[in-house]
Amino acid sequence: MLKRWALVVVAGLSAAAASAEVTAIRAGRLIDPETGRALANQTILVEGEKITAVGGEVAVPPGATVIDLSSSTVMPGLVDAHTHLALTYKDVPESNYYYLTYVMDSTPLRAIQAASNGIQLLSSGFTVVRDLGNNGNYADTAHRIAIEQGWIPGPTMINSGLIIGGKGGQFWPTPEMAREHNLVYPEYLEADTPDEIVKAVRENMLFGAKVIKICVDCKPWGYSVDEMRLFIREAAKGGLKVAGHVQTPEGASRAIEAGIWSIEHGRALTEEHHRLMAQKGIFLASTDTPFTPYHGTKEDAEKNAAQLRSAWKNGVKLTFSTDMDYWQTGNPMTRGELTINFLLTWKAAGIPNADILKAMTITGYQCAQVEKERGPIKPGLAADIIAVRGNPLDDIDALRDVRFVMKDGLVFKRDGVMTPEQFFHAGPVKGWRRR
């Protein structure tokens, strides 16, 4: 009898301990970006890193920690499908000339900048980013590993490592730079022949890339359809997709024919390209720079909005993407605020709020290949959850003021204030094998 009594007590204790680890989020309004609809008075249960239940009738277990967001709109985290966290070119001292940034800022400094940028993006609700190169000598991989091992908070990163391009990469280096390979390299990994393409893809995979980024047409000797198919085949061995920087209509046609995963930058695309991309299911990360006091021109911004509208009209799989990699002296905006400000282009393009939200979430998760593990607020997926005061389905600018952020089940921001204590550790608490 005594034994049995003891068992009951132990069982009772462990049940209490278990429910103490449950967090219940009361959502006044919960948006499902897949359907573009919102449901009132929903409860989300989170255990450890994962969502375990969602619904209107979900009972809150005794002992659960309750987070009251009953006067907020709750939704899944946002995605920037094209950014550069370890690059910030500036007006001073480099006159926005990013060749000089590579010379002035070391990779370790840029990795620290990236960690700060990641925290600023998370504070603005971005829980997933594709970080597509120009990150020094694999600062992006180090940053991703630091987040995954549990050293610092930051978005889930799908990083590309070095951008692979033909001779010269995206630059026009001088002979001294190009031959010695010690100035503005290793921003790019050169691959001019099939053998070099295979090697470059393998090198990036070895050094922690989660997507392969290539320069499709940065030079007159850009990649052919066959060469891009070789990239795609080789990357597939590691389960990676290929993202292509495109800056000419011819390059776009070749990339589409090759069946590339995503096209980066939309400026060279015609309506015919948009139709073909929609047919083939190719993602667009068009990096839609708005006209702001700190960057861009009105004329360029209008073109960006027009091409984005054409892509939307033709049913292209649109992601929210920024290419955000600059700062102007005196600008008080955070990297997160600079990123969310790209909504200006989406509004100028006249894209409905529900479709903007979808681009910023569902399509972004798919493009980043994370949708089976995180993104939608569904049982079994990682608890990446944000909340805002207004309703972004009515007013997309509500996203500019993210008040609450949960990442992997931990509260990162509450009542508009970052509370990242739980994310800092003196060791790799999630395991050093995360690489």
Q: Which is nearer to Zn ion, 105 or 323 (CB)?
A: 323
Q: Which is nearer to Zn ion, 217 or 408 (CB)?
A: 217
Is the CB of residue 64 less than 8 Å from the CB of residue 23?
yes
Give me the amino acid identity at 225. Answer: V
Neighbours of 275 (CB within 10 A): 17
Least distance to Zn ion, CB of residue 322, Å: 9
Q: Which is nearer to Zn ion, 82 or 274 (CB)?
A: 82
Least distance to Zn ion, CB of residue 325, Å: 7
By beta carbon distance, the residue nearest Zn ion is 323
Residue 55, SS3? strand
Q: For the sheet containing 126-131, what is the strand order? A: 78-83, 126-131, 156-159
- Residues 272-311: x/- map of binding to Zn ion (CB under 5 A)? ----------------------------------------
Give me the amino acid identity at 157. Answer: M
Q: Which is nearer to Zn ion, 123 or 289 (CB)?
A: 289
Q: Which is nearer to Zn ion, 82 or 374 (CB)?
A: 82
Least distance to Zn ion, CB of residue 132, Å: 5
Least distance to Zn ion, CB of residue 314, Å: 23
Least distance to Zn ion, CB of residue 159, Å: 13
HEC secondary structure over 213-225: EEECCCCCCCCCH
Is the CB of residue 191 less than 8 Å from the CB of residue 164?
yes
Least distance to Zn ion, CB of residue 52, Å: 37
- The two beta strands, 65-76 and 283-285, are unpaired
80 binds Zn ion (CB under 5 A): no
Is the CB of residue 48 less than 8 Å from the CB of residue 17?
no
Least distance to Zn ion, CB of residue 248, Å: 16
Burial level of 213, CB count in 10 A (0-12/13-18/19+)? Answer: buried
| Range 316-375, binding Zn ion (CB under 5 A) | 323
Number of chain residues interacting with Zn ion (CB under 5 A): 1
Q: Which is nearer to Zn ion, 187 or 190 (CB)?
A: 187
| Range 182-241, binding Zn ion (CB under 5 A) | none
Is the CB of residue 78 less than 8 Å from the CB of residue 125?
yes
Q: Which is nearer to Zn ion, 70 or 107 (CB)?
A: 107
Reading the block at residue 434, the tokens are 């995360």
Give me the amino acid identity at 318. Answer: L
Chain residues binding Zn ion by CB under 5 A are 323
